[in-house]
Amino acid sequence: MVVAGVVLASCSPAVPSSVKVGTPAPCASAPGQAELMSRLAGNGVPVIQLAGSTSQPLIGASAVVCYVKIRAGAFEAAFFTDAGAAEQFRVCETRSGSRYLYRVNGKTMDAAYPVHWSRAGTVVVWAYDQDVDRMLSSALHPVSVSC
């Protein structure tokens, strides 16, 4: 399926070699992907690539997690099928020396730099770059998921 000029590749082994799907694997199709890409493109932030995310275990089975590449950088997005689960999703930040620790679903994510988390509808997005976060905030008008 093509949305906003981006090919959404399923986990099918028949993905053409011309499709840029990234590493580690193509992102599974999920409700909300087309809407997110449309909203971003409509606000001048076209999606260049969707790929599977190594953050999937952090979020768990309640959502499909994708690595999303845009011209300015990249971010990750968790597409929840249950609106209630998305609304209840929270991330608690603490510091340990110069490290940023994020508590998500009973697991801890350790980062060298701040991670910017927010939610737009049933999609939770997080960016490792403040400029990318500003673009997402401008395009999506998200709400905070902080504890």
Q: Are 27 and 66 in contact (CB under 8 A)?
A: yes
Whether residue 145 is contained in a domain is answered as no
- What pLDDT tens digit does each residue of the chain (147 aa) get? 443 333 333 333 333 343 344 455 788 999 999 999 999 999 999 999 999 999 999 999 999 999 999 999 999 999 999 999 999 999 999 999 999 999 998 899 999 999 999 999 999 999 999 999 999 999 999 999 999
For the chain, what is the domain count?
Answer: 1
Burial 24-59 (b: 16+ CB within 10 A, else e): eebbbbbebbbebbebbbeeebebebbbbbebbebb
Assign 21 to helix, strand or coil: coil
Q: Is the pTM of this model over 0.95?
A: no
Closest alpha carbon to 115 in 88, 71, 85, 145: 145
* Spatial distance between the Cα atoms of 109 and 73, rounded to a whole number of angstroms: 21
Provide the CB-side half-sphere exposure for 87 (13 A, CA): 3
Structure-token match 């193509």, residue found: 26
Whether residue 146 is contained in a domain is answered as no
Whether residue 90 is contained in a domain is answered as yes
Domain with 22 in it: 2-140
